Every structure is written in structure tokens, then in C-alpha cells.
A and B are shown apart, each in its own frame.
Chain A
Amino acid sequence: MHDDQGILTTAIQLIFTLEPELVEIVLLSLKVSITAVIMATLISIPLGTLLGTYRFRSRDFITGIINALMGLPPVVVGLAFYLLLSRSGPLGNLELLFTSSAMILAQCILITPIIISLTQQSIEDLFKQHELQFKALGAPTLLTLRPLLRDARTSLFTAVLAGFGRASAEVGAVLIVGGNINHLTRVMTTTIALETSKGNLELAMALGIILLIISFTITSLMIVVRKTQSV
């Protein structure tokens, strides 16, 4: 039987003493998630803006696909990447399997549809609000994008935060493509899964607390950003 209070005390000690293994795992997790978010943002903001402002024939079809991809099961993404990146797979020669790069790619694929969709929604709402005015002014859509993106910046920031939240909490895909290798691909979520199964609950609890702090920080930031927008 576990001593819950003892586990919690040790977990807090691990955090406050900046235990090297814990710090290494947290830093790698942040590196992977932040890189994935940056990559996804660079893809998603232009794509979301395009879908939110231009009307073209396959727009609804693409929007439907992106919305469907928002609910992608992470383990399926992990499996797909595993097959792609394994030695016998089409991208095997890149030797990315069981590296942090593979984890970044998997997280990027998982969060890109989320950021695209939220960006599209924000920009489309804003564009519709101004559409008649743009017609009256004779404003070409291309020239309206910069001010529209500026006006939507808080919503876009929220979208990016939502992406980061999803990425940092992801476990299935990164476990499959990263392999949870110590000092190489071991991140917070995969470590929690592993250490819990081993009965080493102190480290799992410490990482769990840090994940919760990250999650609360993101949620609080979203609330602050939304309040700023509504002022």
C-alpha cells in the first residue's frame, strides 16, 4: 500500500530541489512541444487565414477534412509515423524514428488542425464583419489580411496556446515514435506512464504536478488574453 502523503512530499521535494532527471525530462518536453507549436503555427496561421477569407471551390471540403483531423487519435498518428519512419518505411532512410524530431513531427501533425480551425474561425468571423465595408472601400482581400491578423491577434494567440496545451499533454503518439528512451526521448507524459507502471510514483507525481501547473498556466493565459480582447 502506498503512503500517499509521503509520495506527495517526496514529489514536491523533487520539484523544489530541481532533481536533475526531472529537470532534464521537463526541458525535453518543453523543447519538443514548443518546437512542434512553432512549426504548426507557421503552417496553420497562413492556411487558416486563407480558408477564413477566400472563397474557392474545394474550401468546404478542406475545412471538413481539417475539422475531422482535429479528433485524430494520437496512437493512430503515432502508428502512421512509426510505419513511415521505420527502417523498412518510405522515410526510413531519414533515421528519425526514436528521436525527438519524430516526436516533434507527430505533435505537429496532431495540433496543426486545431490551430488551423481556430484561426479560420477567428479570421472568418472578423472578415464577415467587415466584408460589406471592404466591398464599399474597394479593398482587395490581400491588403486586408495584415490588419485583420492584427485585430485577431489575441484569438490567434489563444489558438496557439490551445495547440501547446494539446501538445504538452500528448502521450500516445510520442510514446510510439519516441520510444521513451532515457535521456533521449523521455518526456513528462511518457515518464508518468512508465514510472507509474514501475511503482515509482514519486517521480510520476512530481511530473504530474508540473504538467498540471503548465495546464493551469495555459488556461489562465487564455482567460487573460480573452479579457484583453474584450476591453
Chain B
Amino acid sequence: MQTNHHSLPLLLEDVAYEVDGLELIKDTNLKINSAGSTIILGHNGSGKSLLLKLLHGVITPSSGQITWNKNIPATNQYWRTFLLQRPTFFKQTVHYNIEFVLRIAQIPTNEHKTRCQQALEICGLTNISHQYTHSLSGGELQKLSLARAWVLKPTVVLLDEPTVALDPPSVIGFENIIRQFKQSGTKVIMTTHDLAQAKRLADEIVFIDAGKVIEQSPAEKFFSRPRSNQAQNFISGELI
């Protein structure tokens, strides 16, 4: 599914990332140019989180190049948000943590109230907006992380295994919010090792194994006819 999404295409050319001589991401070439959601799938330790950090610029590649649509100014990165697997928050209210993001992105103050209200509503946090973060559950904190992303109205949202520590009802609630991101036109790029979740959410799958992108294909095709042995093993292993 090609798109006119103005943040795309995302291009990775010969990207590698190494620490102390150990190559953790190897010789990666990837082009993401489809709207909807791209799920980066792979085992624990396959390099999914590192790849996401590289995409957001939290870490820089040892070699190669990563470019988002070059029309977007590199200095303003608030069109793209990144949800960490273990997000951290100030020991302040839910509202304060959301508004903080607006302040750093230098969004005009007169927009803060409306944007915060929208984000709180979408993420189901309106009733606890004045609660302090230390009194929130894990699910509520992840929703707050999403609200912090939503409030910036990003064109791309990157999520690093956001539901890994959540119970099933919280996972469902969280996935519904991700669907709303998609519906609003935001490109979703998310890592997971949960095959069922990938099936529920993915329009496109990027399969990564041992730091190398093995396969990239539409979700339906990936799950019915995976091309690589690694992907076949991963899928069959997950289904046992």
C-alpha cells in the first residue's frame, strides 16, 4: 500500500550498529513507504529495540544512513514520537506530564488546554488527569505514554514493545488507542515478539533476526507464506 504520507519514505541504507566491536545491527537495508502500521517482529534480543532507537535518532548508526522524507526539517523532530518499553514520568500529575511535552515542542500555550483534553479523552485518562503518576497502574502509565505522544499530533509514532508488561484487558485498551492513531493518519511502527498481537495490528511486517532484517512483506502474506526459514521457524515456534 503506497502512500503520500509526508514523513515517508523511511530509508535505511547499509545501516550497522556496533558496540565494542560487536555488530548488533548488521548491514540493514529497508524502505518503509506504506501507511498504517509496520510491525517489527523478532525474538527477544534480535535487535528490534535497537532498530527503533536508530530510527528515532536516540542512537546513531556506526555506519550507513537513515533518512525520513527529506522534505521534513531535521531540526524539528516533534512530528515523530517514540514510546519506550519502560517510559519514565515526572512525579507530577498526569496532566503535567502531558503538558510538559507541549512545552518542549514549543506548542503555543493557547493550544495546550484543548490538546491535553483531547489526548486525555482518547487515552481514557480524563478521570485521573489530576492524579500523581506514582499512584497509577502499569496500564495507566502506558496509556499516559500514549497520551504524551498523541498530544503532539505526530505523523509517525514508534512504539517499543509497549504492552509487554500489561494484562490482557489493558493490552486490548492499548491496541484500540493504537488503531485510533492509525485512523487519524499517523504511521505506526511498533516492535513486538507477540505473534498474536502482530496479527491483530500489522499491515506490514518487518522480520528481524540476529540484528539483520530477514523479511519485509504485507502482514497477510507474511503469516500465510513466510519466505525465510527463520520466519517460518519463528511462526511455527510461536504456535506450538
Contacts and interface: CB of A to CB of B under 8 A. Distances in A.
Contacts of A135: 58
Interface residues of A, number: 15
B78 A138 contact: yes
B91 interface: yes
A132 B92 contact: no
B84 A143 contact: no
A109 B84 CA distance: 43
Interface in A132-185: 132-133, 135-140, 143, 147-148, 150-151
Given A138-B78, A147-B92, A132 B101 contact: no
Contact of A143 (B81, B92, B103): B103
Contact of B92 (A129, A136, A140, A150): A150
A130 interface: yes
Contact of A132 (B58, B91, B100, B103): B58
Nearest to B149: A137
B100 A140 contact: no
B72 to A, nearest CB: 14
A138 B84 contact: no
B82 interface: yes
Contacts of B105: 138
Contacts of B179: none
A99 to B, nearest CB: 43
A124 to B, nearest CB: 15
Given A132-B84, A138-B78, A139-B104, A151 B91 contact: yes
Interface in B51-74: 56, 58
B58 A136 contact: yes
B82 A143 contact: no
Interface in A97-143: 129-130, 132-133, 135-140, 143
Contacts of A151: 90-92
A127 B104 CA distance: 16
A135 B60 CA distance: 12
Given A129-B88, A130-B88, A151-B90, 10 more contacts: A132-B58, A133-B87, A133-B88, A135-B58, A136-B82, A137-B104, A143-B103, A143-B104, A147-B96, A148-B90
User: What are the nearest 8 A-B pairs in CB distance?
Assistant: A136-B82, A133-B88, A147-B90, A139-B104, A151-B91, A135-B58, A130-B88, A138-B77
29 contacts: A129-B88, A132-B58, A132-B88, A133-B84, A133-B88, A135-B58, A136-B56, A136-B81, A136-B82, A136-B83, A136-B84, A137-B81, A137-B82, A137-B104, A138-B104, A138-B105, A139-B104, A140-B104, A143-B103, A143-B104, A147-B90, A147-B92, A147-B100, A148-B90, A150-B91, A150-B92, A151-B90, A151-B91, A151-B92
